[in-house]
A and B are shown apart, each in its own frame.
Chain A
């Protein structure tokens, strides 16, 4: 068994892309707050928006009441729309009240929405002013999660990108360090930390971290490994700060995780034998866990509606490790540079689509008659009612699926709807 990639990568550039422009059935970037606020324990997310934005967060969160969730919406009303000067005063008042109630908050994100952008409310300026006023306790930052600028997971990208300027600078002569970028469940983060430590990679940091003081330093000695496929802007800003990205497929499945870890191991000069020794037990566990679902999934045809931008790495994992046949893989945006290692492992026969025209895509889906459809919550039950078997894509964002120990769970997420359909006799 070798540690090198099993499938020979080819260039991804030859895969044609079906570009779609029409109705998009995808959440906006505000949704990222749902997982970001759980991850960053001392951050608060204040959306400056409308009742719609508040309702979206409440509905998408699938969660009604935390005693004191670390997010809220400052709902703009007609009085605010009367004059912009007023709006800034109002924002100061709302933030002031919030900080009085939550002195534990170390980072406050002002999150822009469609309404705040259309009326050109300058949240960057407001954040700078407020931050200054508070003496950086809390530090106030801003980003846009609006639906006119961001699609679903792009909200996390915008949030992390906003954090990059706050990272301390590290000198050119610093010892090489590894920066893992993209929200991971704590349990996954801890597993990766142990693996990196066992590999002998000493300086490892994760962005976002759990607390503000965890903000890692960045500089030319930083090697970054993306844990999520939707971080175009964050990666660009980190590269501007000197970090170098390690190309790798995303850490989904036994092989995806191996290749991802191997990219780091190569960059840090970890000997192949050591890599083999350290990763073998978990890799074997992962393979065995994935294999348990092979019978249920092998040769099943799968159709992805665009949602989280995880579609391409998921399709790679499901086809390479479970023998599924992706028919169409839709993604809201295609960031080729970051996805090349995953794309190059996909079969050239599938339809790769970018953007969306939901009605046309539903027609393609009906014509293709896939065994499993991966789609958002608005489409799942209607497709089930038409006789399709579906998997909600949002679960791949909310559930820990990365790394060796979650590979079996990931396979199971896709096997379960098929299993369920088999069991039901009504």
Chain B
């Protein structure tokens, strides 16, 4: 039993929903109680989809448990298929139905629906969302593409010389972090290489598209979390090579181009020459000097975290001080990557542990999920979001890929922006005694840098509903504007007024660290109070 307050991932059937919703003509019948229908709002409210997810829930109740929940399940499948006329149906159980063991697969098959029935066994008490998505996609591909697989051992025929090479893009799902735009960007990139995209799946694919996955010359796995398992099976069954370099960042995109060129048998030079990223030049531009050695903490799903660390160090000149993931399934990959930076990877799905780690490392920038954004906000550290779990803000109206050369530009902008805002605040702070500038003006990019005790409330959906939750029931401490000085801890030496004033001249995003270091230093040295002198002694002592 694990005490959980906030979760990075939903249950595995939500992963299955992400696959079903991504497809155009596949329905999912889920044996589940009514409360589980909350998952619809992830798609309709967070992703703002204009259609309900293609999911029917049996919504059995306690009174059904004594009776015939199996019959209820069969009726639900029958009615859903009559109403929605899907090309294939996924059937499965949520956590509760798993306990009552009705065998959704067997029941649905017995109905003789005349369409493929794909049973999903997603153990809800062991596994989580991304695993569920991967497993669902894999079973779907096996069921639909399997019948056209050649006998084992058949060598793959060579591509006819008069046909351009073509590949599938595997892994993008509904509710994915920028999947929508990544698909467009990677498709464009492949086009510059003369490579066609045969099928994108599951996002936007029909059952018939999935059935013809074997036609492509090779597979590109954009998101290993959801696509690699299926791609591995396709490699085995159809002899399709797989490219699973994730093209996030300029360096990784160049590697990706090379790998695709090898798999497709084309020349990588034109695509490399056509590189459209501005970010490498921007990073070299003298105004970026201040980015040098910025301490960054990186946390997210494995794919995005590993990619972000590489970009942070090699393409922005940051120093990676922490790297981790909430995906235990990918711990090995993240540990390997962390070793490159001389770090021990943080593998946990407990956000309190992540918070502790961030607080201890005093990074100057956090690259994380929405969870880390909240943590960073509380700690007064700038943050950019790089990975799911998603938030309504992660579906911007504008084109905003993470992958390819345009993706690299997006990363540059979205990571440097919070730091730039911090710098502006610093300038504002330097002039704080000038009456033109309001003292204690809140950093414009941080709704709050209030201390943990007065943490802000943050909407995941729309501010209206949330603000009203708070207004409605309790006038709790909400999002105070930044107070210019952090609170003085109850213990330890006192700050003299003059030292306190001096501290305020330090940019707010390192002020907390300066305060802590000075206090540690003062305590160690047994100072009775902290003077300006102590502050600078500490600075010299901890100076990097």
Structural contact, A35 and B469, CB atoms closer than 8 A: yes
Tell me the bound Cα distance from A117 to B4 in angstroms: 19
- What are the interface flags for A185-207 relative to B under an 8 Å C-beta threshold, 1 for contact and 0 otherwise? 11100000000000000000000
Tell me the bound Cα distance from A147 to B457 in angstroms: 27
Chain B residues with CB under 8 A of A51: 4, 7, 9-11, 95, 124, 128
Q: Beyond A54-B4, A56-B35, A381-B45, is A66–B455 a contact (Cβ under 8 Å)? A: yes
| Interface positions of B from 124 to 170, Cβ below 8 Å from A | 124-126, 128
Is residue A274 contacting chain B, with contact meaning CB distance below 8 A? no
Chain B residues with CB under 8 A of A62: 459-462, 465-466, 469
Which of B54-62, B190-198, B244-252 forms part of the interface with chain A? Answer: B54-62
Chain A residues with CB under 8 A of B41: 59-60, 376-378
Structural contact, B458 and A65, CB atoms closer than 8 A: yes
Is residue A166 contacting chain B, with contact meaning CB distance below 8 A? no
Is residue A73 contacting chain B, with contact meaning CB distance below 8 A? yes
Chain A residues with CB under 8 A of B285: none
| Interface size bracket, B side | 35 or more
Q: Beyond A59-B41, A385-B50, is A23–B35 a contact (Cβ under 8 Å)? A: no
Min CB distance, A349 to chain B, in Å?
29
Which of B178-186, B370-378, B408-416 forms part of the interface with chain A? Answer: B370-378
Structural contact, B472 and A398, CB atoms closer than 8 A: yes
Residue of B nearest to A35 (CB): B473
Is residue A308 contacting chain B, with contact meaning CB distance below 8 A? no
Min CB distance, A122 to chain B, in Å?
15
Tell me the bound Cα distance from A183 to B473 in angstroms: 8
Min CB distance, A381 to chain B, in Å?
4
| Interface positions of A from 18 to 38, Cβ below 8 Å from B | 22-31, 34-35, 38
Structural contact, B474 and A186, CB atoms closer than 8 A: yes
Structural contact, A60 and B464, CB atoms closer than 8 A: no
Is residue B468 contacting chain A, with contact meaning CB distance below 8 A? yes
Min CB distance, B371 to chain A, in Å?
7
Chain A residues with CB under 8 A of B99: 81, 115, 118-119
- What are the interface flags for B437-465 relative to A under an 8 Å C-beta threshold, 1 for contact and 0 otherwise? 00000000000000011110111111011
Is residue B289 contacting chain A, with contact meaning CB distance below 8 A? no
Residue from A34, A53, A55, A377 within 8 A of B14 (CB atoms)? A55
Is residue B435 contacting chain A, with contact meaning CB distance below 8 A? no
Structural contact, B35 and A27, CB atoms closer than 8 A: yes
Structural contact, A63 and B457, CB atoms closer than 8 A: yes
Chain B residues with CB under 8 A of A23: 37, 56-59, 76
Chain A residues with CB under 8 A of B471: 185, 187, 399-400
Structural contact, B7 and A381, CB atoms closer than 8 A: no
Q: Beyond A115-B99, A148-B65, is A58–B6 a contact (Cβ under 8 Å)? A: yes
Structural contact, B37 and A24, CB atoms closer than 8 A: yes
Min CB distance, A129 to chain B, in Å?
16
Residue from B1, B10, B39, B454 within 8 A of A77 (CB atoms)? B1
Q: Beyond A78-B125, A183-B473, is A65–B371 a contact (Cβ under 8 Å)? A: yes
- What are the interface flags for B282-300 relative to A under an 8 Å C-beta threshold, 1 for contact and 0 otherwise? 0000000000000000000
Chain A residues with CB under 8 A of B3: 72-75, 94, 97-98
Min CB distance, B195 to chain A, in Å?
35
User: What residues make up the interface of B, taking CB atoms closer than 8 Å to A?
Assistant: 1-7, 9-11, 13-14, 33-42, 44-45, 48-52, 56-62, 64-65, 76, 79, 83, 94-96, 99-100, 123-126, 128, 351, 370-371, 374-375, 378, 391, 452-455, 457-462, 464-466, 468-476
User: What residues make up the interface of A, taking CB atoms closer than 8 Å to B?
Assistant: 22-31, 34-35, 38-39, 41, 50-56, 58-69, 71-78, 80-81, 87, 90-91, 93-94, 97-98, 114-115, 117-119, 146-149, 151, 183, 185-187, 359, 376-382, 384-385, 392, 394-395, 398-400
Known contacts A146-B62, A380-B44; 17 further A-B pairs (Cβ under 8 A) = A24-B37, A24-B59, A28-B35, A39-B473, A50-B95, A50-B125, A52-B35, A52-B95, A55-B11, A64-B458, A65-B6, A67-B454, A76-B1, A80-B1, A94-B3, A377-B461, A381-B49
